[in-house]
Structure 1
Amino acid sequence: MFPNRTTVEDIENAAALAEVQGRSLWASARARFMRNKAAVVSLIVLILVAAFALFGGFFAQWERDFVDFSLMGRNAHLGVPSFETGHYFGTDNSGRDLFARTVQGTGISLMVGIVGAMVAVLVGTLYGATAGYFGGRVDGIMMRIVDVLMSIPFMFVLILMLVIFGRSILMLFIGIGLISWLDMARIARGQTLTIKNKEFVEVAVATGVHPLRIILRHIIPNLLGIVVVYATLLVPNMIIFESFISFLGLGVQEPNTSLGALISEGAGTMQYGTLWQLLFPLFFFVLTIFAFFFVGDGLRDALDPKDR
């Protein structure tokens, strides 16, 4: 009866549509990310874990209590977690404060994961974007190199590098980062094949812009969405790799430690009833891994163009 009648619902829908259209890509992604409760809670957890690694050392006892822990089977009260003694997580089998060791291990594991992921993303993005942009024979040669490298067992190469060049945190950074860029190169190359046919790239080519400048100024900025998502999902993989290497005794060496090394030490002393040596490092390890995965899933959903 009233074909031109405007309802309240139509006005609300139009306002919502105008609001969405007025947002930038990153503002819209941020709004969708904030609606993901699991991702937001995981981000808060990661901030708390990072604060624990950065500032937990101010509340720890770094001196060693020289106690005969060979009697642990008959004196299980030795080294147990206690607020009275200041050993909040107890002590290890060498009399060292486990709280201080967990703070140090969490920091090193986070550092290895984040730096390793940054190296992998940087190398992989540049390599893949270059291969995808030039295409043809250059693309074929560069991607066949990636195929050959991917056929080599990753863990074998990393262990071999640590044995040949020495077991240190620097070698962990180089080994994990420079081997883990292969998947990122494939992803960046696939996205570049689509982006290089866009109008803004064709205009840059027509105006004589240098190919390297096109890759750095036009191609790579448009890969940031997928790069950020992959980086957040790559960090927990880096932490898992480092923890596995440290669990085998080839990673971080004394007096430094990591969560993997602490878990290995805790698993070796469980027979003495010192379960806290395993549970506290394992708790922070699992908490960090799950938080990174949930944040990565949230970013993937937020930056997915199909959901906009």
Structure 2
Amino acid sequence: MFGTRHAETLTDAPLEAVKGRSLWQDARGRFLRNKAAVTGLIVLIAMTLFALFGGLLAKYEPDFVDFSLMGANAFRGVPSFETGHYFGVDQDGRDLYARVVQGTGISLLVGVVGAFVAVFVGTLYGAVSGYIGGRTDQIMMRIVDILLSIPFMFVLILMLVIFGRSLLMLFIGIGLISWLNMARIARGQTLTIKNKEFVEAAIASGVPTFTIILRHIVPNLAGIVVVYATLLVPEIILFESFVSYLGLGVQEPNTSLGALINLGARQMNNGTLWMLLFPLAFFLTTLFAFFFVGDGLRDALDPKDR
């Protein structure tokens, strides 16, 4: 009697009350409960809005030179809202606020585009290698091992020197070299996924190999790919900043946070500390925000924690 009433109660209940949550709904709830990750996400959104629309508040263009402040910026080019130089001026009399807006946008663009290229190439390469297996897998992974043994920064600097120091070359150089670790991660996950029942069912149905990889293997790598991408973006921004610090990255009149930090470090002894502090603050804030979001996504999508 009791079992019958209990069954009737479940039957009469609304569908939303008895429907289970999906994997992504559960992960979203876990992510939103992580205060550090949510804070990092809010900071990243604010940084993106600053890079996109911060120039609307600037009274000067990034490449506008105030010749009256050249050589006198230590006492006349200080940060001031009255003059419109919110972050002060650099050694050439250019508005630092406008250049920080431009540098933040370019650094974010390099990081996001480079991570996208690395994830796209690495995921496909690793999925193909892990799914096909055998001698093909051995050859493909040995190629990755050989490329990983070559110093990454040396290859990037060599490419910029040979093919020219352009933003496009920076995108290509960073993205096409950063995919190696992603290929290893995707290959390891593919070795587990390819033995699942839905993959065996697709094979039995006569689905072509490449279609199985695109429709069944790659979508199931989405969790680990998203996590790795958020952790790869700050790594690429660091690479770009180091290359720009050496003078091989973004070239004038464009700039990046790494180039601004380089210029600010050179002027520390001239009483213009703001030239270093403002770009450095935006640089560190962006990096920590990406790290917090990446850690939050990793915890939210980790099957062991569920």
TM-score by length of 1: 0.92
Distance in structure 2 (CA, Å) of the matches to 1:54 and 1:19: 42
Could you tell me which residue of structure 2 aligns to residue 112 of structure 1? 110
1:20 CA drift (Å): 10
1:160: which partner in 2? Answer: 158
Secondary structure at the residue paired with 2:111?
helix
Question: After the TM superposition, which residues 46-65 of structure 1 pair with which residues of structure 2 at under 5 Å, given as runs?
Answer: 46-60=44-58, 61-62=60-61, 63-65=64-66
Contact 1:229–1:299 (8 Å) recurs in 2: yes
SS of alignment partner, residue 218 of structure 2: helix
- Which amino acid in the other structure matches residue 70 of structure 1? G
| Aligned residue in 1 for 2:68 | 67
State the shift of 1:67 in Å: 2.4
In the superposition, relative to structure 1, how do residues 292 and 203 fare at CA in structure 2: closer, same or farther (>3 Å)? Answer: same
Quote the sequence identity (%). 75
Distance 2:67 2:207 in 1: 68
> Aligned-residue CA RMSD in angstroms?
1.4
Task: Note if contact 1:36-1:298 (Cα within 8 Å) is conserved in structure 2.
Answer: yes
Distance 2:121 2:164 in 1: 23
Structure 2's unaligned 5+ residue stretches are 3-15
CA distance in 2, matches of 1:20, 1:266: 60
1:78 and 2:73 matched: no
Q: Compute the displacement of 1:69 (Å).
A: 3.1
Q: What residue number does 2:7 align with?
A: none
**CA-CA distance at 1:192 after TM superposition:** 0.2
CA positional deviation for 1:65:
1.1
Aligned-partner residue type, residue 194 of structure 2: K
Give the structure-2-normalised TM-score: 0.92
Amino acid at match of 1:64: V
Write the letter of the residue equivalent to 1:117.
A
Q: Quick one: structure 1 residues 197 and 273, their matched pair in 2 at CA, closer, same or farther if it must change by over 3 Å?
A: same
Q: Which residue of the partner structure matches residue 40 of structure 2?
A: 42
SS state at 1:229 partner: helix
Query: 1 CA distance for matches of 2:134 and 2:82?
Result: 69
SS of the residue corresponding to residue 82 of structure 1 reads coil
Counterparts in 2 of 1:32 and 1:68: CA distance versus 1, 3 Å:
closer
Structure 1: gaps spanning 5 or more residues: 5-17
Aligned mate of 2:234, from 233, 236, 259: 236
Cα distance in 2 between the residues matched to 1:67 and 1:235: 39
Distance 1:281 1:20, change over 3 A: farther
The number of equivalent residue pairs is 289
Q: What CA distance in whole angstroms lies between the structure 2 residues aligned with 1:52 and 1:71?
A: 29
* Offset from partner CA, 1:152-209 (integer Å, 9 cap, x none): 0000000000000000110110000000000000000000000000000001111110
Which consecutive aligned stretches of 4+ in structure 1 deviate over 6 angstroms post-superposition?
Answer: 18-21
Q: Report the AA paired with residue 172 of structure 2.
A: I
What secondary structure is seen at the aligned counterpart in 1 of 2:304?
helix
Q: 3-state SS of the aligned residue for 1:307?
A: coil
| Equivalent residue, structure 1, for 2:10 | none
Contact 1:89 1:99 in 2 (8 A): yes
- Shift, 1:64, TM fit: 2.3
1:257 to 239, 247, 255: 255
In structure 2, distance between residues paired with 1:219 and 1:68 = 59
